[in-house]
Amino acid sequence: MDWTDEKNILLDEEEEESTPLQKWCRRDFLKSFLYAGAALLLPAETLARVAGPTASRERVLTLYSPNTGESLKEVTFWQNGHYYAPGLRAINYFCRDTHNNTVHAIDPALLDKLYLINQCLPGAHPQNILLSGYRSPSTNARLRRHNRRVARQSYHMEGKALDIRVKGVSVAHLRNVALRLHQGGVGYYPRSGFVHIDTGPLRTW
């Protein structure tokens, strides 16, 4: 399992009125995520064609890093049927290893997974609080020396894992939404207050 040594952030619990998109998400939940589950076996581009009603929409994420204080507000990483290179570059830098500023490409399928999670949460563009994105091998080894729960071959080192919270959403609810995708790995860390998601094999802990 993966572990982060970053400080905790107090979550603001708030109620928001459901948007039409969230209502669609609840109404067609099983159907949409049957499609999403196929992403484990299909290329990321294929996910775009089977993601149901959101396939033609721009895909946008809002991100905040408590480690650097940086924010990305409503950055577009997909538009007009393709991944959007400027948005991907901005996200890659945002998710860099902040211990040594090493930048690595983040798996677009991981961004798709986070986007799908966001579609079932309150608000048009939920703020995703990033605790850990890419980790260089040297950073991962240092963290592992302090905590053996850190995976030797962490998906963070491949740009295929994120440790996140979402503002205004309980960690338990975030975990439950991520589990319903039936995609990749989902790790639940209630004491540390985050959820790990990755694009590796289907598994939970």
pLDDT tens figures, 77-110: 999 999 999 999 999 999 999 999 999 999 999 9
Buried b (16+ CB within 10 A) or exposed e, 32-57: bbebbeebbeeebeebbeebbebeee
| Partner residues linked to 196 by β-bridges | 163, 187
Query: What separation in angstroms does the CA of 151 have from each of 115, 138, 157, 161, 205?
Result: 25, 13, 10, 12, 13
> What H or E segment, with its residue span, contains residue 142?
helix 137-146
Q: How far apart are CA 162 and CA 159, in angstroms?
A: 8
Q: Specify the pTM.
A: 0.75
At residue 30 the predicted structure's pLDDT band, cuts being 50, 70 and 90, is very low
Q: How confident is the model over 116-171, as pLDDT tens digits?
A: 999 999 888 999 999 999 999 999 999 888 877 788 889 999 999 999 999 999 99
Which token pair is 90?
A: 């901005």
Q: How far apart are CA 46 and CA 55, in angstroms?
A: 10
Q: Which residue has the higher pLDDT, 27 or 196?
A: 196
* % of the chain residues with pLDDT over 70: 73
| SS3 state at 29 | helix
Residue 18 has pLDDT above 60, yes or no: no
Predicted confidence at residue 25, as pLDDT, reads: 57
What's the CA dihedral at 203, 56, 95, 3 to 10 degrees? -20
Residue 63 has pLDDT above 80, yes or no: yes
